[in-house]
A and B are shown apart, each in its own frame.
Chain A
């Protein structure tokens, strides 16, 4: 947890680690990065130690589009952790940006979410703090 303007955002455990560091550092600079295998060029998300296509362990971070379509989603009417208890209903969308699918918070009315809608990354304070990505309808 990190306090910014009195709000404690839930933070990833390994924001600086080898697997996720590239993603979270880029997010704080308003960019979306995913991993690409240096050996066979397969995209990899979520990050894992080995490439499932060629078993290489060498990866680089490359930028992916900051917009895409909602593949699927959830809308929560119950929070399962303290941070979200006063933010209900809240939605999480899984966004197909082309090479990979990236999940994030949906900013806007959660009940308006549908599969197939077009969304764009929004680098709100929670994203820039390094907590999690957010998306808004375009």
Chain B
């Protein structure tokens, strides 16, 4: 493969809240303008747009907001929480080939300020029609009461516990470690709230094996990055390089229940691919921002990425390894579990901050190589390898 010649030169986020009077469109445009300012460019210098997951704002909205005179490229990526990392890869390919020079990648989610939250007990089958495999959702899962990601993912988790006798303790480890990181992050929704082992153990099960604190937050907010050709804006010493990226899809990608091996997921295929393209090994990473819609899926991704064998991730994350100061600080911003659920766009932003050395109290000292994953819909995966 041709080497990517792309950098992330700007990042932006809104405040992460529960409650907002701003539309998702306006939140995403706001985060996008912040990213332009961070990159030190006029908004109209953007000539490409990749919308990760959300359909609004449209590329037309971005043109009209930024005053773009010549939009050379646009795309939409629709693989749920795998969209942001996959969208950054598309942007990197666009600037590497010269199709565009500076590409905005953005998304956001008013997951809290929405008429029917994903955690709501008042779902209608019409809520799920924006997912792939709608006939399966409407004809099989809806009559069984299956609507929510925490339900779908539990089928994967329960098989994993059975097949590999995995230790559920690892889920608590991920919840507590990422909350500690959030406590060092002023923009984290849970920044001011500590979480103890007692809190975790006392929290109720919503769907076996997930307790409340195994499940990502419902928040409002947006995040964006600017992907630039490596040759431009090189006066900015703050650009971080995209060394490789990959995308992968599970077998029977729209159906967890009938998947031949439910433990095979998009990351199973995408993970090794991205590492090989970058010429790096799991041990080489200074930190990892792993998509964490649920604690258990962090553990599963570590296994499929090659950090450890299947069933061994609870041991891998023990003894502080994934905390700041450990071998592999993980989700140093707090992740979807404790910072905010921005579909993983915040994982890309945090990787940039770490590689720039701008992560403040939560800075990983000497961070030079970082891993970002995305995970979406029914097991789509995306991976970015990023370096200084």
Return chain A residues, CB-CB under 8 Å to B136. 46
Judge whether A15 and B139 touch: CB under 8 Å: yes
In the complex, whether B177 has a CB less than 8 A from a CB of chain A is no
In the complex, what's the smallest C-beta–C-beta distance from B214 to chain A, in angstroms? 13
Judge whether A81 and B122 touch: CB under 8 Å: yes
In the complex, what's the smallest C-beta–C-beta distance from B380 to chain A, in angstroms? 18
- Residues from 87 to 138 in A contacting B, C-beta threshold 8 Å: 90, 92, 94, 100-101, 103-105, 114-116, 131-132
In the complex, what's the smallest C-beta–C-beta distance from A83 to chain B, in angstroms? 7
State A2–B257 Cα separation when bound (angstroms): 26
Judge whether A13 and B138 touch: CB under 8 Å: yes
Annotate A15-44 by CB proximity to B: 1 below 8 A, 0 otherwise.
101011000000000000000000000000
Judge whether A80 and B135 touch: CB under 8 Å: no
Judge whether A45 and B135 touch: CB under 8 Å: no
B159 touches which of A9, A92, A115 (Cβ 8 Å): A115
Judge whether B204 and A103 touch: CB under 8 Å: no
Return chain A residues, CB-CB under 8 Å to B121. 78-82, 85
State A78–B148 Cα separation when bound (angstroms): 11
Known contacts being A81-B123, A84-B145, is A74 close to B158, with CB within 8 Å? yes
Annotate A38-68 by CB proximity to B: 1 below 8 A, 0 otherwise.
0000000111100000000000000000000
Judge whether A10 and B146 touch: CB under 8 Å: no
Annotate B64-105 by CB proximity to A: 1 below 8 A, 0 otherwise.
000000000000000000000000000000000000000000
Return chain B residues, CB-CB under 8 Å to A85. 121
In the complex, whether B140 has a CB less than 8 A from a CB of chain A is yes
In the complex, what's the smallest C-beta–C-beta distance from B163 to chain A, in angstroms? 8
Judge whether A94 and B257 touch: CB under 8 Å: yes
Judge whether A115 and B258 touch: CB under 8 Å: no
Judge whether B148 and A80 touch: CB under 8 Å: yes
Known contacts being A47-B135, A77-B208, is A72 close to B143, with CB within 8 Å? no
State A45–B162 Cα separation when bound (angstroms): 24
Annotate B157-168 by CB proximity to A: 1 below 8 A, 0 otherwise.
011001100000
Judge whether B162 and A114 touch: CB under 8 Å: yes
State A97–B78 Cα separation when bound (angstroms): 33
State A10–B128 Cα separation when bound (angstroms): 15
A46 touches which of B142, B144, B162, B255 (Cβ 8 Å): B255
Known contacts being A12-B138, A46-B140, is A92 close to B255, with CB within 8 Å? no
Q: List the B residue with the shortest CB-CB distance to A105.
A: B144
Known contacts being A94-B257, A115-B159, is A82 close to B122, with CB within 8 Å? yes
In the complex, what's the smallest C-beta–C-beta distance from A129 to chain B, in angstroms? 10
State A82–B147 Cα separation when bound (angstroms): 12
In the complex, whether B125 has a CB less than 8 A from a CB of chain A is yes
Judge whether B125 and A103 touch: CB under 8 Å: no
Judge whether B258 and A80 touch: CB under 8 Å: no
Q: List the A residue with the shortest CB-CB distance to B124.
A: A81
- Residues from 109 to 150 in B contacting A, C-beta threshold 8 Å: 119-125, 133, 135-136, 138-148
Judge whether A101 and B257 touch: CB under 8 Å: yes
- Residues from 182 to 236 in B contacting A, C-beta threshold 8 Å: 204-208
Judge whether B140 and A103 touch: CB under 8 Å: yes
Judge whether B147 and A72 touch: CB under 8 Å: no
In the complex, what's the smallest C-beta–C-beta distance from B115 to chain A, in angstroms? 15
In the complex, whether B348 has a CB less than 8 A from a CB of chain A is no
Return chain A residues, CB-CB under 8 Å to B258. 45-46, 94, 100-101
Return chain B residues, CB-CB under 8 Å to A100. 258
Judge whether A13 and B146 touch: CB under 8 Å: no
State A12–B151 Cα separation when bound (angstroms): 19
Return chain B residues, CB-CB under 8 Å to A104. 144
Judge whether A46 and B135 touch: CB under 8 Å: yes
With A14-B139, A103-B144 given, name 8 new contacts (CB 8 A). A13-B142, A14-B135, A15-B139, A76-B208, A78-B207, A80-B146, A105-B144, A132-B143
Residues of chain A having any CB pair with chain B under 8 Å? 9-15, 17, 19-20, 45-48, 71-85, 90, 92, 94, 100-101, 103-105, 114-116, 131-132
